[in-house]
Amino acid sequence: MSGVLVTGGGSGIGEATCVRLARGGVRVAVVDRDAEAARRVADSVGGLALVADVADREQAESSIEAAVAEFGGLHGLVACAGVGNLKPLEDYTDDEVDLIWRVNVTGTFHYLRGAVGHLRAAYEATGRPSAAVTVGSVSGVRPTLGEGPYAAAKAAVVALSASAALEWAPSVRVNCVSPGFVRTPLNEVLAGDEATRAGLEDRTPMARLGTPDDVAALVEFLLGPQSSYLTGQNLVLDGGSTLSSAQMDPVLGPLLELFRR
Ligand SMILES: NC(=O)c1ccc[n+]([C@@H]2O[C@H](COP(=O)([O-])OP(=O)(O)OC[C@H]3O[C@@H](n4cnc5c(N)ncnc54)[C@H](O)[C@@H]3O)[C@@H](O)[C@H]2O)c1
């Protein structure tokens, strides 16, 4: 027997991932720095609640060992915990940049490094590749205003994941999911405002915001046997919102309408 460990499992995308995996019969360890949130989600999915700050090496490693002790091994990892901030680049303090880096990059590193031995052991026991999924952001692919350190950290998560994929194939596959705007407690301050939400939807080709379950569905696919040949990739999941060209589309769009008439 084995299971999957999800960091940041107490809310938003991590929570939706725990729910989806559990529905598919997977045993889930819900890791979060917020004990109450971890407990609430673990209770709802019949999983294991573990409290850890992913940025702290000892806490991260203890949570991995606790999950392995409970499940008898790990065949999957989802490194989802992350934090961001918004302000002019020159106004960020060292502490703010340090926090963003330590949670998003060092935290992801702690779990990749700590889990790989167990993921390899699961491969050796079953002959099927194990899988790790990390969580980036469209900000790390096409930077956004006011999110410089977060964008840099998420770009680092993409690079770290690709390096891990290269080193750990064929026993462990590693892919990154980079979501666009997904409505979660992280950004409710924006999505909760009707006018802001309508504007975001208007500028999204798929005409809606992403949901935590949209991301969870992709994570489930990346952990499962249907993606067994996929590794080292960064999958942007944004309803097409980063496709458009701010420079050309306002010019070409009206011309295209003329051709359509
Ligand atoms: N929501 C979006 O639009 C969006 C877009 C792109 C990327 N992301 C990324 O998706 C991931 C999940 O975001 P979300 O929107 O679900 O956020 P969220 O705030 O709803 O959930 C994040 C969870 O991570 C936990 N967490 C934060 N720091 C932690 C730490 N140091 N140790 C352990 N747990 C910690 C929080 O307690 C919370 O339960 C993050 O990595 C985020 O950067 C989100």
Q: Which of 33, 116, 145 is nearest to 80 (CA)?
A: 33
Looking at the predicted structure, is the pLDDT value of residue 187 above 90? no
Query: So what's the pLDDT on residue 189?
Result: 86
- pTM for the model stands at 0.97
Burial label for 7, CB within 10 Å (0-12, 13-18, 19+), is buried
Say what percent of the chain tops pLDDT 90: 93
Query: 49-63, 112-126, 191-205, 225-239: lowest mean pLDDT where?
Result: 191-205
What structural domains does the chain harbor? 3-260 (3.40.50.720)
Q: Which residue, chain included where needed, has tokens 């302000």? A: 87
Report how far apart, in Å, the C-alpha atoms of 66 and of each of 56, 59, 168 are: 15, 10, 23
Report how far apart, in Å, the C-alpha atoms of 201 and of each of 123, 204, 205, 235, 247 are: 42, 5, 8, 21, 20
**213 is written with which tokens?**
């379950």
Q: Tell whether ligand 1 has an atom less than 6 A from the beta carbon of residue 34.
A: yes
Give the span between the Cα atoms of 65 and 168, in whole angstroms: 20
Query: So what's the pLDDT on residue 146?
Result: 98
Task: Give the mean pLDDT of 183-196.
Answer: 89
Query: 30-44, 157-171, 194-208: lowest mean pLDDT where?
Result: 194-208
Is 92 catalytic? The answer is no
Q: Tell whether ligand 1 has an atom less than 6 A from the beta carbon of residue 132.
A: no
Looking at the predicted structure, is the pLDDT value of residue 205 above 80? yes
Ligand 1 midpoint to CA 79 (Å) = 10
